[in-house]
Every structure is written in structure tokens, then in C-alpha cells.
Amino acid sequence: MTDPEILRYTQETGDFSRMLESIPYATWIGLQCERFGDDLIFRLPKKESNLGNPILPAIHGGVIGGFMEMSANIYLIMSRESLRMPRIVDFSLDYLRAGLNRETYAECRLTRQGNRVANVMVTAWQKSRSQPIATARAHFLLED
Amino acid sequence: MDNQTRIDRVTRFIETLNQARELGLSVTDAGDGTLTLCLPYSDRIIGNPDTGVIHGGAITTLMDTTSGCVILCALEDFELCPTLDLRVDYMRPAHPHKPVYARAETYRITRNIIFTRCEAYQEGGETIANCVATFMRIGKEASPKHYRDLIAGDVK
């Protein structure tokens, strides 16, 4: 993911396949990303191995967290000119509804970017964007 | 409830969670309101291919699972408690090729809410991340009896 060549390719083309293939964790949970104009929508397809609670069944809360965390990370890389990798400092997650065994989406918003720290908000939903299953807030350190 | 019972219950519970099974999570230690789980290193959960450092998401899943399962070590009867919120502070990246452990405790249990804290560390004791979480008590009747019996070990 730190490979500047892949980052540049992704920033220029909006094709996320090479970047995502280079990150084993993204491939493993099945994360996908598409660009619509300037907007990025992240997608987590339905996947049996991502489930936690077998009764509902529901996606494991940790996977929802990992999906949102990685979405925030990629979003931040794409919204900056720099090819440096931001480092996560903290991650705060509110679960609003059970994430059922179906496709999940996420979008991010850069709340504030300073010289050294960025604050990113993430919202995840399934059937309707107006009924989010989780919201999260993350801080990233931008310098090395 | 003795500690072996706690270990057995948590082991049976995480066996039913696909993602925990896929990650290879296992119980290291359990006590009254405390629990330690182990996340083995695996190439699949790498977040940075250049360094081999695992992704924070795998740490989040480890800590969410440990914090959720420590409830089984604190309550006499199994109750499924959904996570309300989770806050993770990352101290340093985990060393590649080594397991990560998470030790959680319930530090306050009320009628409605359970408060937990959890520390992820590696051998030598270096802290990788800290986490606090809250869980909602929806009552044991919220899970089907056959599932509760399965976790309690009452199913032959």
C-alpha cells in the first residue's frame, strides 16, 4: 500500500483494483471502492467468513470496524496530494444497528485536516443511507 | 463458575463466530471478569505489504471479540450483548510474524450496560493498542435456548 507507483496510478485513474490487491487485509474481507466524480463509495460484499453472531446472522462488529477504518485510510490518501501513508492514531466506533448478512457501504468525510493530524468521519449503511448501521471517527497522523 | 468453565464457554462461543474462527482466535487465559485471547500472525491480515505489519482492523476485531467475550467470564448465565461503542487507541504497530494478545476486563456491570477495557500486547508486554467499549444487556431471553445451551455446554 505504500508503493508510490500504485498510489499515483490509483489517484490518476480512479481504478482501485491494483491498490486493493496489494493490501491482503482488504482482499481478505472483500473491500471494494468506486469513484463517482470526486466521491468515493466503499463496498463490503456479503461474505460468510465475515460473520460474527450466527443467530441473526450478522457481520462481526470487528469486520465492520476494519472495513470503516480501511475506508477512512484510503479516502484520506486519495484526498491528499501527498503519497505518504497516514498512520492511524485512534478510532471511535458507534454501532447503531446490527449489520445483517448483506452488502454494506461506507462513505467518508474529512472533518478537519491540519498540518499533522486529520479527522475523518465514516458512515456505514446497508439498505438505506438514511439508516446507518455504524458511524466512526478516526484521527490520522500525516507526517512520518 | 470456575476458570475452566469460563475457558470452555468462551471457546465454544468463538467457535460459532465465523470471523473469529477464520482469524484463528483462541483462549489464552480466563478469570472472574477477565479474559485473554490470542490472534496468531497470518499473511491474510497484513495491512502494509512492505513491512508485513497487520492491519488495524484485525486488531479491532481481536479487541471487539475479547471485550464481548469477557462478559461470558463475568455473568453466571450466557447473555448475548451487542456492542454499543468501541474506542481504540493505537500505541504502536504490531511486530510481524508474532501473535497479538488481548486482555479484557469488565470494570462495571449494571442492569442495562456493561463497561469493558482491553489492552492488546505482544510478548515482552509492549502495548499495541488500548480499547474501551460498552455493551447493551438485552437479556438472555434474546438468544434462543438451544444457542444458550450450546455455549453453556448443556448440549450433549
pLDDT of amino acid A1: 52
Query: Which residue, among B60, B66, B72, would best test binding to A if mutated, counting the most A CBs under 10 Å from its CB?
Result: B60
Task: State whether residue A12 sits within 8 Å of chain B by CB.
Answer: no
Other beta carbons within 10 angstroms of residue A83's beta carbon come to 14
pLDDT digits (tens, 9 = 90+) for A85-116: 789 999 999 999 999 999 999 999 999 988 89
Domain spans of chain A, in order of start: 4-141
What is B3-152's CATH topology?
Thiol Ester Dehydrase; Chain A (3.10.129)
Domain locations in chain B? 3-152
Residue A2 has a pLDDT of: 61
Contact A91 B87 (CB under 8 A): yes
A66 neighbourhood in chain B, CB within 8 Å: 55-58, 60-61
- Check if the interface score ipTM surpasses 0.85: yes
CATH number corresponding to A4-141: 3.10.129.10
- B57-67 mean pLDDT: 96
B90-135 pLDDT per residue, tens? 999 999 999 999 999 999 999 999 999 999 999 998 999 999 999 9
Q: Rounded to whole angstroms, what are the CA distances from B69 to A25, A29, A33, A40, B23?
A: 24, 22, 32, 35, 15
Would you call B58 and A1 a contact, using CB atoms and an 8 Å cutoff? no
pTM across the whole model? 0.95
Q: Is residue B71 classed exposed, middle or buried when 0-12, 13-18 and 19+ CB atoms within 10 A define those classes?
A: buried
